């Protein structure tokens, strides 16, 4: 453990956190590393902020034990990217070996200071899932800049320093900034660049420290010398060179220029013989390069040090899991037995994603006494931008902060202005709850129920028709609330002069009459259900245990209001047109979307009236199927069904077009770098995550498939929460083939077309089959149809290929495109779309799935089992947009939290789970398990059916629901 001493308050320290939280270098169980017996020594470690910490370890302890203690002290989860380096007895800088005992590596532990440093630099800093990790990487870049190790042009140097000082002193103030730069040196020759640094700094106003770290790494990662440690060498002719290793392979430098790069895919073997370092290449008929390259280094030890780090880099970035140790030979050994020890990058990313419940808040305290708001405490900022690990539910990544600070001692995560339900529970250890997975509810949020509630419920009718009618009631309550979202938006735009009259009139004439009608309809349904349940004396005077007459009368009254519903697409287009024409209107819409009541994208609400007609049709079909022809309610239900079916059939064709338009408009907001996504003839087919193979290895990318083109993008931590387009692949003349064996990557396939080919890998066989099926279908359709009127998407990209995907990136003095994302200050954009959920769940969703989802919406009370007790908690739950939204009651205006269901499975509990209640279903995702209880067999069936529509692909869902046995 750390030797007790007064710990300094440093930037980046995690405040008030226990010191023994789980870290990625430990096995699951989160216990501190076991300390072997024996004499203890104190070891000094210099951190990246230049503070020093003293650790007390056994001499016999392995290097890993000490490293784990350092990570545990910082509460660092992604520790595998880092290492401890020191100067050995031959005055060479080497990394502490995790397997060997400390005593065999440090001759005089008390007199040796180890440096905690970044060891592995990934190709994309978005792969770092924690803000703390990116903060430490930023400190490493700061060190490398000041030491002159990271060489670059003046523009890049000035830009990076501007991000560093934005993170350290905050927003630009000319006199403060100049005096700070005069008193602090960030680069070797800083004076001539002070004005340039200040100019860049003035453009970062409003940028938080986390954003500054991200933008600093965005600039740094494009430099040739990012993360490189140069090892002096000579070629066969005696010319002086330097060797370095990176995630891509082995690099060769001469003076300040990279002259060669040998990708891992081209290297067959790395070895050394005495002073000679050897690179054996795979045979290449098209290359004049020799099979074996030879470099001369200063000594055998220099060769071995470089060879070791090459072995570790290759294993970390190229292998799926840690290599197993080779069996020891019985008689004698030949060569080095060194192997990489630790998690590979893939294992780190998988581990952190699956263990996100271990995350805790990371706060920075600066010497200037300026406390920057952290992710978990949004009390001093209007919006927040979480890191890649993102603390939210249902993809919510930006929200309006509360105007009053939360009670001290309890970090409050806000999701689109909503508190995540997990934060309703009082966390004993103060840790940040799971960002992506699921709500943990307790009596702070709502009441517990017991058997008395069941007794009360048993007095209600048990007829299936009653529960179908009750579904009409519960979903009508949600629908009326959704209409109120649009009418409240209408009242906002009416008061603004920037709103075109045509838009005001269209919304007013469409939604005001609908809201008025459904207010009366809901009142009637509520009265009828009260009579049906015997909660009034009306049942004495007549038989009110029916709903068909209420539906028939109201659907006939609704018919005149449905005649213009095919024009709802006009509202979508008018809104889009108004936002493009006026920045003020765009801000007004964005601000409204960030309000708590707007729990899904605004334009989804615009199509709700059309989807509601489909729900009425489904409810009436169930009633007609349930009733015998002789039942007095059957005739009214059948007549009502005929009326609503006629309207739905008339609107069906235009509804599909409107849903496609809505999706294109939604995706237009999610994408950065595309100007004309919404054009006549373009159809959306599928979006989701795939890994793209490039010279840098497999990189996570978001792919968007349309009927004419495939876009691939990456997610950066931008103020807009958007996905940056890297390239587009036209479908015309494209071919697709499976290529798992060709590349040795599971579930890989290759897209070839118009002079470029892209190799991608899906997360599973099922995902690969979905993508290949949809792409093949789209290619066939593209051959015969004219497609969109626009031949290609116009992008801010200079050509179809992203510069970052090339293996040899040159840095240009006037590279304005590299600076564009850092200097531009776009307006915040909500991130509550399915794109973000797909990105983090590593899955995909098709337009067919979206269409099925709008038909499968449900509302009602559910009981949710407490985690470690037999208590159950009553919640009002709304299922829509592939997610469950949780409320205390149906009167609430906005959800407390939400749970995206992509990736979850829904089943019934087994005997050994000891859930001795009827109508219970179980939601399960990795280590997260939730039990919910419905009130009847019918409601149980319905919840299972709609949740299946979000957790299973549409074709499988229909098959499963037809076969599923229901418990009694």
Per residue in 331-354, pLDDT (tens digit) is 444 455 565 667 888 888 888 776
718/230: higher pLDDT: 230
- Least confident stretch, 357-371, 662-676, 869-883, 944-958: 357-371
- pLDDT of 17-48, one tens digit each? 233 222 233 333 334 456 777 788 899 999 99
How does DSSP assign 576-628, residue by residue? Answer: HHHHHH-HHHHHHHHHHHTSTT--S-HHHHHTHHHHHHHHHHHHHHHHHHHS-
Measured in whole angstroms, the distance separating CA 963 from the mean position of its chain's CA atoms is 34
* Tokens 């373009």, residue located: 682
Nearest by Cα to 549 from 635, 475, 463: 635
Alpha helix stretches (DSSP H) within 417-463: 451-457
Contact 100, 63 (CB under 8 A): yes
- pLDDT of 795-827, one tens digit each? 654 344 444 443 333 333 333 333 333 333 444
- pLDDT of 650-665, one tens digit each? 988 889 999 999 999 9
List, in order of start, the domains of the chain with CATH numbers. Answer: 43-118 (3.10.20.90), 125-221 (1.20.80.10), 230-323+337-343 (2.30.29.30), 475-670 (1.20.900.10), 673-788 (2.30.29.30), 857-962 (2.30.29.30)
Give the chain's mean pLDDT.
77
Rounded average pLDDT over 73-84: 91
pLDDT at 849 over 80: yes
How does DSSP assign 748-810, residue by residue? Answer: EEEEEETTEEEEEE-SSHHHHHHHHHHHHHHHHHHHHS---SSSS--BSSSSSS-GGGSSSPP
Q: Is 168 left (phi over 0), alpha (psi -120 to 50) or beta?
A: alpha
Rounded average pLDDT over 387-407: 30
Contact 763, 689 (CB under 8 A): yes
Confidence of residue 391 (pLDDT cuts 50, 70, 90): very low
Residue 24, C-beta contacts closer than 8 angstroms, at least 6 positions apart: 71, 76, 77, 78, 79, 80, 343, 348, 351, 352
Confidence of residue 212 (pLDDT cuts 50, 70, 90): very high
DSSP 25: T
DSSP reduced 3-state for 454:
helix
Check residue 818 and give its pLDDT. Answer: 32
Which pair of tokens denotes residue 733?
């003349």
Contact 22, 30 (CB under 8 A): yes
Contact 396, 420 (CB under 8 A): no
CA distance 227 to 233: 19
pLDDT at 423 over 70: no
């Amino acid at each position: 453990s750390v030797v007790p001493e007064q710990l300094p308050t440093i930037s980046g320290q995690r405040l008030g956190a226990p010191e023994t939280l789980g870290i990625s270098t430990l096995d699951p169980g989160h216990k501190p590393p076991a300390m072997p017996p024996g004499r203890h020594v104190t070891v000094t470690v210099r951190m990246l902020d230049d503070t020093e910490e003293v650790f007390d370890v056994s001499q016999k302890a392995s290097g890993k034990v000490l490293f784990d203690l350092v990570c545990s002290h910082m509460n660092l989860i992604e520790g595998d990217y880092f290492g401890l380096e020191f100067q050995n007895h031959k005055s060479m800088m080497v990394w502490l070996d995790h397997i060997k005992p400390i005593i065999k590596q440090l001759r005089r532990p008390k007199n040796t200071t180890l440096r905690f440093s970044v060891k592995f630099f990934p190709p994309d800093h978005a792969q770092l899932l924690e803000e703390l990790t990116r903060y430490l990487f930023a400190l490493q870049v700061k060190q490398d800049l000041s030491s002159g190790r990271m060489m670059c042009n003046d523009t890049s140097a000035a830009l990076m320093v501007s991000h560093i000082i934005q993170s350290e002193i905050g927003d630009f103030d000319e006199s403060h900034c100049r005096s700070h730069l005069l008193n602090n040196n960030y680069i070797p020759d800083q004076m001539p660049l002070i004005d340039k640094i200040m100019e860049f700094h003035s453009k970062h106003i409003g940028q938080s420290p986390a954003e500054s770290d991200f933008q600093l790494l965005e600039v740094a990662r494009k430099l040739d010398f990012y993360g490189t440690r140069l090892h002096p060498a000579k070629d066969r002719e005696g010319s002086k060179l330097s060797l370095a290793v990176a995630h891509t392979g082995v690099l060769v430098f001469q003076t300040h220029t990279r002259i060669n790069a040998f990708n891992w895919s081209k290297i067959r073997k790395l070895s050394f013989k005495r002073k000679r370092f050897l690179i054996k290449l795979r045979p290449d008929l098209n290359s004049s390069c020799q099979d074996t390259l030879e470099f001369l280094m200063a000594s055998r030890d220099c060769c071995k040090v470089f060879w070791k780090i090459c072995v570790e880099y290759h294993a970390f970035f190229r292998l799926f899991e840690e290599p197993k140790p080779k069996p020891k030979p019985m008689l004698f050994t030949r060569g080095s037995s060194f192997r990489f020890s630790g998690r590979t990058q893939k294992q780190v990313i998988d581990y952190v994603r699956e263990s996100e419940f271990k995350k805790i808040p990371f706060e920075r305290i600066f010497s200037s006494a300026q406390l920057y708001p952290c992710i978990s405490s949004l009390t001093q900022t209007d919006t927040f931008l979480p890191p890649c690990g993102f603390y939210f539910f249902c993809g919510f990544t930006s929200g309006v902060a509360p105007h009053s600070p939360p009670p001290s001692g309890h970090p409050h995560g806000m999701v689109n202005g909503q508190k995540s339900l997990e934060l309703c529970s009082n966390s004993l250890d103060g840790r940040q709850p799971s960002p992506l997975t699921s709500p943990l509810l307790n009596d702070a949020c709502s009441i517990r129920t017991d058997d008395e509630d069941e007794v009360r419920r048993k007095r209600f009718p048990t007829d299936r028709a009653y529960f179908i009618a009750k579904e009409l009631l519960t979903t009508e309550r949600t629908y009326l609330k959704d209409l109120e979202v649009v009418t409240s938006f209408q009242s906002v735009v009416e008061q603004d002069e920037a709103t075109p009259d045509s838009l005001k009139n269209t919304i007013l004439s469409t939604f005001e009459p609908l809201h008025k009608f459904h207010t009366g309809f809901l009142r009637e349904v509520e009265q009828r259900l009260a009579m049906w349940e015997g909660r009034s004396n009306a049942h004495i005077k007549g038989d009110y245990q029916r709903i068909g007459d209420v539906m028939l009368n109201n659907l006939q009254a609704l018919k005149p209001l449905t005649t213009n519903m095919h024009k709802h697409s006009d509202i979508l287009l008018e809104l889009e047109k108004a936002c493009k024409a006026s920045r003020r209107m765009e801000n007004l819409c964005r601000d409204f979307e960030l309000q708590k009541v707007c729990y899904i994208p605004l334009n989804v609400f615009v199509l709700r009236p059309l989807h509601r007609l489909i729900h009425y049709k489904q409810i009436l079909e169930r009633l007609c199927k349930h009733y015998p022809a002789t039942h007095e309610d059957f005739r009214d239900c059948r007549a009502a069904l005929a009326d609503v079916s006629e309207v739905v059939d008339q609107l069906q064709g235009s509804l599909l077009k409107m849903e496609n338009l809505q999706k294109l408009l939604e995706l237009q907001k999610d994408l950065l770098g595309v100007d004309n996504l919404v054009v006549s003839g373009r159809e959306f087919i599928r979006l989701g995550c795939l890994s793209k193979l490039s010279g840098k290895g497999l990189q996570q990318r978001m792919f968007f498939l349309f009927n004419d083109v495939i876009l691939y993008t990456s997610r950066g931590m931008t103020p807009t929460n958007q996905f940056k387009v890297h390239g587009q692949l036209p479908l015309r003349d494209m071919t697709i083939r499976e290529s798992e064996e060709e590349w040795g990557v599971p579930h890989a396939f290759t897209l070839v077309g118009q002079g470029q080919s892209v190799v991608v890998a899906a997360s599973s066989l099922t995902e690969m089959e979905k993508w290949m099926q949809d792409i093949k279908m789209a290619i066939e359709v593209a051959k015969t149809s004219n497609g969109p009127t626009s031949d290609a998407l116009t992008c801010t990209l200079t050509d179809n290929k992203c510069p970052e995907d090339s293996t040899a990136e040159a840095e240009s003095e006037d590279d304005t495109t590299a600076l564009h994302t850092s200097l531009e200050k776009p307006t915040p954009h909500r991130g509550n779309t399915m794109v973000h959920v797909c990105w983090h769940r590593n899955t995909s969703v098709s337009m067919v799935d979206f269409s099925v989802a709008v038909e499968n919406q449900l509302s009602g009370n559910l009981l949710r089992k407490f985690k470690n007790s037999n208590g159950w908690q009553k919640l009002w739950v709304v299922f829509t947009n592939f997610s469950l939204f949780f409320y205390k009651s149906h009167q609430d205006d906005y959800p407390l939290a939400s749970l995206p269901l992509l990736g979850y499975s829904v089943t019934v509990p087994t005997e050994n789970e000891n859930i001795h209640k009827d109508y219970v279903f179980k939601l399960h995702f990795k280590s997260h398990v939730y039990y919910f209880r419905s009130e009847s067999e019918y409601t149980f069936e319905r919840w299972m059916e709609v949740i299946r529509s979000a957790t299973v692909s549409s074709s499988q869902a229909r098959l499963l629901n037809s076969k599923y046995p229901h418990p009694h």
